[in-house]
Structure 1
Amino acid sequence: MGDSLILVGRVAGAFGVRGEVRLTSYTAEPSALLDYRDLKREDGRPALTLLSGRPAKGGLVVRAQEVETREQAEALRGLNLYIPRDILPEPEEDEFYVTDLIGLAVETPQGEPLGRVKNVQDFGAGDLLEIEPPEGAAWYLPFTKEAVPEVRLAEGKVVAVRPEETE
């Protein structure tokens, strides 16, 4: 995984008139962005260096080294913010970073290929793996032990039981 970048937030715009920046956080704990401090652009170039911040509805309000005015903050609206994957702690057992799952091959317990993990969604009832088959429309699979008994990151695959086979 080395130097890959993980999307952790987005600039939502300016806050107030003194150059503070509103951020939408994609981390479990929004204030974690302050711990990462040096946020990057998608191409790896520096984006924002966070100096301080506080929780706000939907994210954080921060002071950034690169921003002094409201106009500068507004100009950054929509900028996606990343951190290097290798600075994240290793997940707990049976927990995964979404970015580590996307692109994994999906196969049955018998080794039959079902496709690749296209995305991970949560529409309110728990995580779903969006599976993109070699042909045909994508489909969703609940990300549960019953439907996904094994995730083998080192092998680059997920073992899955199709929904009609779970009963």
Structure 2
Amino acid sequence: MSDNERRILLGRIVGAFGIRGQIKIESWTEPRDAIFRYQPWILVDAAGGEREFSGARGKESGKHLVATFPEVTDRDVVEAMRGTDIYVPRSALPPPKAGEFYWVDLEGFRVVTVDGVDFGTVSHLFSTGSNDVLSIRGDRERMVPFVEPDFVKSVDFEAGLITVDWDPDF
């Protein structure tokens, strides 16, 4: 899938805020309010229905963001959107700085050990708070801390390959 077609999950609608159609959003961008920089949003509900929205605006409010959509002014409409995922096209994100990358750009990369043992492919990454972790699917699922250079020895974007120093039996 090309960058123009690939979608990146940036957040989720978690409920209504107030009575005028304001929307509580959980954002996974860093900083959290950066989600508003990347639009249009492609909203995907639990049934797989999609809608595209532009012009979302908002601000931080406690552990969530509070947003407004131009066409949404009713609390009941917002409550019906609860659980809707917020995606943007990969092409909406700025290019990463030199030496940096987006986690999503590593999905699908093959992972091999320094000794040539094939672990499979990266399904996703997640953060534990202390470090990020590669989730790798192959003959079984493996979790490898994304700690350079201790465990992750190299990332080759041209080859789509990550080399790790990790015990295959662990």
- Inter-partner Cα distance in structure 1 for 2:57 and 2:118: 48
The farther-off stretch of 62-71 and 85-94 is 85-94
Tell me if structure 2 keeps the 8 A contact 1:5–1:44: no
TM-score, scaled to structure 2: 0.85
Residue 9 of structure 2 corresponds to residue 7 of structure 1? yes
Partner of 2:147: 144
From 42, 48, 66, the equivalent of 2:71 is: 66
Aligned residues: 163
Tell me which moved more, 34-43 or 61-70. Answer: 34-43
CA contact 1:147–1:163 (8 Å) conserved in 2: no
Q: How far 1:163 moved relative to its partner?
A: 4.2
Q: Where do 1:47-126 residues align within 5 Å?
A: 47-126=52-131
Which amino acid in 2 is paired with 1:151? V
Structure 2 residue runs of 5 or longer lacking an equivalent are none
1:31 aligns to what SS in structure 2? helix
CA separation in 1, counterparts of 2:83 and 2:49?
17
% of aligned pairs identical?
Answer: 31
Q: Does 1:158 align with 2:162?
A: yes
Task: Report the CA distance shift for 1:26/1:20 in structure 2 as closer, same or farther (over 3 A).
Answer: same
Q: Specify whether residues 52 and 132 from structure 1 end up closer, same or farther in structure 2 by C-alpha distance, changes over 3 A only.
A: closer
CA distance in 1, matches of 2:52, 2:14: 14
CA contact (8 A) 1:104 1:156 kept: yes
Alignment check: 8 A CA contact 1:18 1:68 kept? yes
Q: What is the CA deviation profile of residues 110-134 of structure 1, one whole-angstrom value per residue up to 9, with x for unaligned ones? A: 543221112212222201112223x
Task: Note closer, same or farther for the CA distance 1:129–1:139 as it changes in structure 2 (3 Å cut).
Answer: same
Give me the whole-angstrom Cα distance separating, in 2, the residues matched to 1:157 and 1:60: 36
Q: For structure 1, which runs of at least 5 residues remain unmatched after alignment? A: none
CA drift at 1:17 = 0.5
Does structure 2 conserve the Cα–Cα contact (< 8 Å) formed by 1:49 and 1:66?
Answer: no
* Per-residue deviation, residues 3-52 of structure 1 (Å, max 9, x unmatched): 21100111111100011111110101121122224211357953333343
In the alignment, the residues of structure 2 paired with residue 87 and residue 47 of structure 1 have an alpha-carbon distance, to the nearest angstrom, of 14
TM-score where L is the length of structure 1: 0.86
